[in-house]
Structure formats: C-alpha cells, structure tokens
Structure 1
Amino acid sequence: MSEKNESRTQAIRGYVDGKIQWLWGLPENQRRAELAKLRRGIGHAPGELPDLWGGLLQGMPASFYGTNGPSHEEWAVYLALTLYALHQQSNDTVCVSQLGCTLGRAVRRLAEQTVASGQDWTESSILRRFNALATAEEITEISHHLRGMIQLLRAAKPDSIPLDYPRLAVDLYGLQCDAPQLAQLPANIRLRWGQDLYRYEKNESSETQEKEN
C-alpha cells in the first residue's frame, strides 16, 4: 500500500477512534443524547440530517470531504459511528468498541453462541447472514446487512459482543475502493474477514472466557 493510502486509512481509524473517545468523555446524559442522534442517522446518507453535522463533521479532515455527494471516507466514518451508536444502545457502562475485535472474530463468537449444545458453529444461521454481508457490493446494501449483524451482536447473551469500530471504518472505506495499488481492496478485506472467522478456534475462545471470568 502506498504511503498516501496508508496515511488515509490511519486517518480514518484515528478519526473514528477519537470520536468514540470523545463520546466517552462526555457526561452520561450528554453521551446518551449524542448516541441517540447518531442512531437517527441509520438508513440515511451522510449529510441528510443536519442534527448530525456537528457530531460527525466537527474535526473531520477536509481531505475526507466529498465534492459530488458523500466521499468514500465520509460513508465509512458515518456508517461506523451510527452503527456504533446502535450497538451501544442500552449499555451505559462498557464501551462496545474494542480494538482487535474484528468483524470475523465477532461473528465467530456470535455463531458459537447461537447453535445448540453439541452442534458445530458452522451450522449456525448466522453464517448465511454473514455471507450476504460479505458478498454485498454497493455501500447501501452493505449498510443494510451490517445493521442486521450489529443488532445481533448487541442482543447476544449474556453480554453484547464487542467490535473494533475504527477497524470497521477502514474496512468500509476499502470496500468502496478499487485502486489496484490499494492493499485495502474489497477482495482482500473479504478474505481477511473469512480468515478471522475461521482462525478464531474454540480453544482460543475458551482461553479468552477464562481470562474474563
């Protein structure tokens, strides 16, 4: 990946991470209000709702701005933050954005939780949903499938399954790009999702649970 593209993905990651840190620095009531505003943006395109302009655009690098509709960067940031707000709903004590909890890993944990005792996780219906997300090509279609997956992660028991939202934003940016010199090519991103899905072995999951208990 060129230095320019690497700088761009780092800027996207840093911006989303900074916004989440900003939200958690707010008083609880104000944080709830900001998250509620972000949730209202789900299903809309960046820029459609003026109430969201301040929370999303304040501090955004000018290089992210689109000149003929939302840019790839604006879509990536917008989707990551609005879906984060959806995931965070009804959880005031723990931030659901955790570094290293990639989409493939999160889906693996979800699949393991949703199968009957003794059933292999690969038989979970969650994988059909994940496949639909992984094969979606247009950003609004990706958004639709991703929203459903986030709702499932939020509803997981006993606790919501976290997700690395700065990493997700970088992935969403890459899914919109087709420059051959860009390491974040859509095919590469989908491959990594699959690698993370199958790399997360059961014994690793058990070790993680033991550390958490």
Structure 2
Amino acid sequence: MTTTPTTSLRPSAPADPVAEVVRKEIGRLQQGYLSDRSEAVADLARLRRGAGKDAATIPNLWGLLDIELLHSTPGVRPDEAEEAVFIAMTLYALHQQSRSAAMHRTGGDELGAAVRRLMPPGEIDEPVRKRFVRAGSAPTLAVLAARLREITLLLRGADLSLDYALLAQQLYAWQRPGGRDQVRRSWGRSFHAHRPPKNTDAPARTPDETDQKDAS
C-alpha cells in the first residue's frame, strides 16, 4: 500500500524565508516594545498605520523592515513575499498595541484556532464566525488584509496571541495557484480542531477597541 504525501502549512518551516523574516523582525520589535524602548514603540506605530492597507503605497514604511532574504533566496517571488510580510507585520503591530504580553508566539495559534478561542467553550459566536467566514471568502489579497484587520482587533481586545510567522507564510501561499483553497482548509481545520483548556470557565474578554495607548 502506498501513501500520498500531504502538504501542510503548519508548522512554519525554519527554512521558509517569508516566515523567517517575520519571526526575526517581530522578535526584534516585540522585545523592544515590551521593554518600552522608544525606537521599537515608534516603529510599531509606523507599521500600525499600514494595517489593512497596501504597504507599497505608504512611503513611511519603506526600509523599515529587513527583507533582504526575500530577494536573495532562489525561487522566492519577491513582490508576493513582500506583500505577505508587510500584511502580517502591520497586523501584528496593530495587535500588539497597548498590550503588555507578547501577541506573537512562534508555534502558537493558527488563525482558525485563535478565532475559536474568541468564543465561549462549546458555543459558536455567530458574529465572530461571520467575520471569520468573510475573511476566508475574500476575493483579493487587499480585501483579505482588511478583513483580517477586523479579526486582529477582536484578538487584541481578548488578549489572544497568534503565530504571525505562520500567517505570513499562509498569505504568501494564498497568492499561488491553488493556494487560497489550501489556506482556507488549514484555517478551517484549526478552527474545528481547537479544544479549550480543561477547567476553563471564564468567557473570552469583551473586545475593547477604544484602547489608545501610544495611538498614532
């Protein structure tokens, strides 16, 4: 009997340049932000302005991230890789705003699992589910970025982290032929496979989108 190899976007492969760039850049910025270093706080504020937008149209973001690896790795499509990196990084910057804990965790929740954690154990929050479905059905990358921004605000309000290196890898894959379906399946599987920790009775916190620490 033979088996057919399956491809997976989980976990992020260390050799993947898109995921590696995001891991490195978030590692630098997250450590600095949580240590209240002014440079990191300022850089995240700059990135945050690009959340849900086309980073290429925002000159203030040019040169902010070290993306040389995307241009030096054979086989990488730089334009698509840059799009994925900048979307993930700007969403992370929005997510980390005013939070004293790390909102990116390597090996942490995939998008579907994080969305499921927004819901009470054993229940489906229909408004949250609809936002997730809208993101999954986005017709273009620009629309997907805008819809992911809405979900990011919910995750921030509930203090729920996300693996942004994996998200960047998936955003890159999303742009390949057949990639959208692959990413959608992965998000759907992680949503349905998530199981809440035992002895967890407290519901998710109500998202607070009015938090304005270091808002710019």
TM-score, length-normalised on structure 1? 0.77
Match of 2:128 in 1: 126
Question: How far is the alpha carbon of 1:123 from its aligned partner?
Answer: 4.4
Aligned partners of 1:13 and 1:167 also within 8 Å: yes
Match of 2:173 in 1: 174
Instruction: Confirm or deny that 1:76 pairs with 2:73.
Output: no
State the SS of the aligned residue for 2:160: coil
- Consecutive unaligned residues of structure 2, counting only runs of 5 or more, are 1-6, 202-216
State the SS of the aligned residue for 1:122: coil
Superposed counterparts of 1:50-199, under 5 Å = 50-57=59-66, 59-63=68-72, 71-91=79-99, 93-98=100-105, 99-112=107-120, 120-156=122-158, 160-178=159-177, 185-199=179-193
CA distance, structure 1, for counterparts of residue 87 and residue 127 of structure 2 = 24
More displaced 10-residue stretch of structure 1: 9-18 or 141-150: 9-18
Match of 2:19 in 1: 13
TM-score, length-normalised on structure 2? 0.76
Aligned partners of 1:102 and 1:167 also within 8 Å: yes
- Consecutive unaligned residues of structure 1, counting only runs of 5 or more, are 65-69, 114-119
CA distance, structure 1, for counterparts of residue 51 and residue 93 of structure 2 = 9
CA distance, structure 2, for counterparts of residue 77 and residue 198 of structure 1 = 27
CA-based RMSD of the aligned residues comes to: 2.7
Superposed counterparts of 1:20-59, under 5 Å = 20-26=26-32, 28=36, 29-57=38-66, 59=68
Aligned partners of 1:88 and 1:96 also within 8 Å: yes
Identity %: 33
CA distance, structure 2, for counterparts of residue 102 and residue 207 of structure 1 = 22
Question: How far is the alpha carbon of 1:57 from its aligned partner?
Answer: 4.3
State the SS of the aligned residue for 2:102: coil
